[in-house]
């Protein structure tokens, strides 16, 4: 499942946590279901996270960096283990998660911590696209420690 599909599945309840940007949470989904949704986005500077319950961010924070290519997997596991455990759905998006093999590895890692949750894994590009564009065509620019430009037209996605 892509980040965009994740956003649509959760009633666009994907949380976008980037340096000093607005947090957008569509409250409908978690209010209607009562589910707890954990959003995680990691990169070279930090791992930002937020827990949504009843459509409201009830907890959030920043932890050490978690880049799938640069941070040892045991360190990422340690970071995950300090996050809330009693959740129904998780979106975990890390820089360096570029291939299907990377996604599978990240998903396996997350499932080792949250075995009962419905988990979607991907890159910070994916979470940026989902939060900015939802299901629309357009271009999303990530500008942080790392930077990327991703565009979507229909089902076609291009990265720069």
The pLDDT value given to residue 126: 80
With CA atoms as reference, report the closest residue to 74 among 125, 112, 122, 40: 112
Q: Which domain holds residue 28?
A: 3-159
The pLDDT value given to residue 127: 77
Walk along the chain (160 residues) and give the pLDDT tens digit of each residue: 444 344 434 433 344 443 333 344 444 455 556 789 999 999 889 999 999 888 788 899 999 999 999 999 999 999 999 999 999 999 999 999 989 999 999 999 999 999 999 999 998 778 777 777 777 888 888 777 777 787 888 888 777 7
Q: Which pTM was predicted?
A: 0.76
The pLDDT value given to residue 79: 97
- Distance, CA of 89 to CA of 107 (rounded, Å): 13
| Domain total of the chain | 1
The pLDDT value given to residue 23: 41
The CATH number for 92's domain is 3.30.420.40
The pLDDT value given to residue 110: 98
Task: Tell me the torsion sign for CA atoms 97, 129, 2, 137.
Answer: negative
CA distances from 115 to 34, 65, 89, 90, 96 (A): 19, 23, 11, 11, 23
Structural contact between residues 92 and 79, judged by C-beta atoms closer than 8 angstroms: no
């Amino acid at each position: 499942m892509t980040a965009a599909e994740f956003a649509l599945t959760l009633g666009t309840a994907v949380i976008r946590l980037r340096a000093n940007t607005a947090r957008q949470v569509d409250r409908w989904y978690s209010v209607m279901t009562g589910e707890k949704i954990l959003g995680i986005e990691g990169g070279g500077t930090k791992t930002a996270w937020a827990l949504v319950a009843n459509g409201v961010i009830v907890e959030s924070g920043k932890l050490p960096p978690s880049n799938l290519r640069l941070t040892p997997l045991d360190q990422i596991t340690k970071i995950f283990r300090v996050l809330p455990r009693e959740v129904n759905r998780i979106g975990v998006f890390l820089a360096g998660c570029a291939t299907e093999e990377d996604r599978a590895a990240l998903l396996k890692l997350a499932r080792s911590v949250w075995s009962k949750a419905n988990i979607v894994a991907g890159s910070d590009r994916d979470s940026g696209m989902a939060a900015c564009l939802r299901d629309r065509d357009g271009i999303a620019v990530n500008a942080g420690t790392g930077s990327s430009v991703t565009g979507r037209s229909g089902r076609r996605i291009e990265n720069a």
